[in-house]
Amino acid sequence: MLNSEKVNITTKYINDITSDFEPEIAIILGSGLGDFANVKSCTAVPYSEIPNFEISTVKGHKGQLVFAEMFGKKIVFMQGRFHYYEGYAIQKVVYPVAVFKKLGVEKLIVTNAAGGLNESFSNGDLMIIKDHINLMGTNPLIGENNEDLGERFPDMSEVYSKELRLLAKKCAKSLNINLKEGVYAAMTGPSYETPAEIRMLQMIGADAVGMSTVPEAVFANYCGIKTLGISCITNLAAGLKHEKLSHAEVIETANVVKEKFKKLLNSVLKNI
């Protein structure tokens, strides 16, 4: 489990840098979606300068915390996340969420680029995550429990807040955005799934697949942080089309739909 002393050191450093900004909402921006944090009058802190933070090594992940006020809400953006496949221990992947909890965050919006499994989905669709399937072979809560953050055996019946999902749907309807909703399956990566694995995922009820999000959502739920998950369907998964998959395609599609994504996220933040 996470070291409370290290979390406190990180939190103190951030509070000193931001003059006790005290964010109420945290947003983790996935591959190709980091531009949303390019806002005026903000404080940006590179991960490399934050005690006990790791460095994001993946293209499309800028690697900094951005503190800004939008629509009257104080927000901390994570421009790029840490992935299990980068070689980080699973507790390192969720370390920022523990820090967010200490900073006072009450709501988390976690985003990702994902492969579509539901054959009614198209490239560029946005999907609200209603539930997930953890196929990463690990759990960020393994180890000694930290009673300051949560209980040993947290309930998982509503990892993704019904209240926030309903809000996102209402916002999408008002913007005439065809918002999908489905189950997200998390694999370790970094290799993409095989066609046989995709068929298995479809059979067990997954609508999208990716290599992130689930660890942070599990940990946020454990900490009592309400979570909204949004996937950008950047490609159809292996076996569902003839072209080979590439990370360049993921970034390219995310760039195409980022204006739609920004409109939805702005509306959610206005009304949250």
Please give the positions annotated as active site.
Answer: 31, 61, 83, 85-86, 113, 211-212, 235, 247
Question: Which amino acid appears at position 96 of this protein?
Answer: P
Q: Report DSSP letters for 51-117, one per residue.
A: TT-----STT---EEEEEEETTEEEEEEES---GGGT--HHHHSHHHHHHHHHT--EEEEEEEEEE-
What is the rounded distance in angstroms from the CA atom of residue 121 to the CA atom of residue 139?
A: 29
- The torsion region of residue 5 among left (phi > 0), alpha (psi -120 to 50) and beta comes to alpha
197 phi, psi to nearest 5 deg: -65, -35
Question: Which amino acid appears at position 15 of this protein?
Answer: N
73-79/107-116 β-pairing: unpaired
Cβ distance 64 to 44 under 8 Å?
yes
Mapped onto helix, strand or coil, the DSSP state of residue 130 is strand
9 phi, psi to nearest 5 deg: -65, -45
Cβ distance 102 to 82 under 8 Å?
no
Sign of CA dihedral 236, 237, 243, 245: positive
